[in-house]
Amino acid sequence: MLKRRFTPLYVVSILLLLAAGKASAEVVKETVIFLQEDGRHYFSYSTARTDFPSYDLYLKKEHTLDDYLYIYPNDFKWDTQSDANANLLRFSQSDYALIQPGSWAGEVEQDKKGVYRFRSATDERRDDGHFGYWTKPGDFDQFVYVWVVPANFEIVSYTANRPGDWVQRHNTLAFYGKKVNDLIFEIAYRPRSHATFTAVQESLQQQREEGESEVQLEQRQSGVRVTLAETVLFPIGSSELSPRGKRLIARIARGLMKRPGVSVIVSGHTDDTPIKSGLKKKFLTNWELSSARSLAVIHEMISNGFPGERLESQAFGPHRPRASNKSREGRAKNRRIELEIVEAK
């Protein structure tokens, strides 16, 4: 009889294989986790190959067939009556495969160094003494546990509480165990952009202390975003950087020089107030103003040593607002420069 247990951190399900008179059988188990780019959602592919003639898959009562994207074999029975505490998927062959989406949002958090730490189960024991990934009678003859990590993440560390071989190839990490039972895995991972985030954070530290709301730094799936308010860079209605703005852009450029290979997309944004009076001689619309401001930042970065071939200019005028233009505060938030700092692939 083979059983499998997950904690709420992962997929909550219990797998029971009916031995049909056999005392034991070879059990080969594989679980593949496809981590998504947000670091908290995933798809899991799980399969077992055994000598057992049949098995039942025990699921929590709140689970439905719609929770699964793929079930093999398609010839199964969905049983909600036999067990008061579980729904059952009943199969009459020795192999199975499942694909299921999942999330551990709210349970796996980033630490101050940007690292996510995942634990596949607790070590809380059942009445029969088993915990984690487990089977009985006997052990898993082979147990394979795989993570496929998107390009924006890197593996920091990995451990298992049972002996086995770890193999890392490109963006895939795999554990191979033989004659093992009661397994728990701990994997730490972080965005590849974290070193860049730290470099920019250090270069902006003084500025952020002086005006937190004027400079915002975000670590994103695709890299790092720096948002600079108009007031910290330009006089109103101007595309010429202020002395303060030049110092700020110089600090950012020098910080990014520590990260060879990163590229920067500089985008200009405005509110929706039309260009008026004498400014129309220089900027026909907000498109021209946002473009000129983006280019001014790019030229300042180049003058401070950042390679021009790794810079790109974009202008959106009023068409990518972050807030409502109906208030003074909203319009102020919309007048900005954004730097999208992208890691080399």
Q: Does a cis peptide bond (omega within 30 degrees of 0) precede residue 73? A: yes
Model confidence pLDDT, tens digit, residues 158-217: 999 999 999 999 999 999 999 999 999 999 999 888 888 888 888 887 655 555 568 898
Q: For the chain, which residues make up each domain, given as ranges?
A: 13-191, 194-342
Report the distance separating Cα 134 and Cα 130, nearest Å: 6
13-191 and 194-342, same CATH topology: no
Report the distance separating Cα 78 and Cα 55, nearest Å: 13
Reply yes or no on domain 13-191 having CATH 2.60.40: yes
**CATH level 3 topology of 194-342:** 60s Ribosomal Protein L30; Chain: A; (3.30.1330)
In the chain the first and final C-alpha atoms are separated, in Å, by: 46
Q: Does a cis peptide bond (omega within 30 degrees of 0) precede residue 137? A: yes
Model confidence pLDDT, tens digit, residues 68-124: 999 999 989 999 998 777 788 888 887 889 999 988 877 788 887 789 999 998 888
Model confidence pLDDT, tens digit, residues 214-228: 889 888 777 899 999
Check if the beta carbon of residue 131 is closer than 8 Å to that of residue 5.
yes
Report the distance separating Cα 203 and Cα 127, nearest Å: 55
Confidence of residue 4 (pLDDT cuts 50, 70, 90): very low
- Is residue 52 classed as helix, strand or coil in its secondary structure? coil
Check if the beta carbon of residue 116 is closer than 8 Å to that of residue 194.
no
Model confidence pLDDT, tens digit, residues 268-277: 999 999 998 8
More confident residue, 205 or 240: 240
pTM equals: 0.70
Q: What is the DSSP string of 31-45?
A: EEEEE-TTSSEEEEE
Check if the beta carbon of residue 44 is closer than 8 Å to that of residue 100.
yes
- Mean residue pLDDT across the chain: 86
Locate all alpha helices (DSSP H) within 257-316, ordered by sequence: 286-303
Residue 162 CB partners (closer than 8 Å, separation 6+): 177, 180, 181, 182, 183
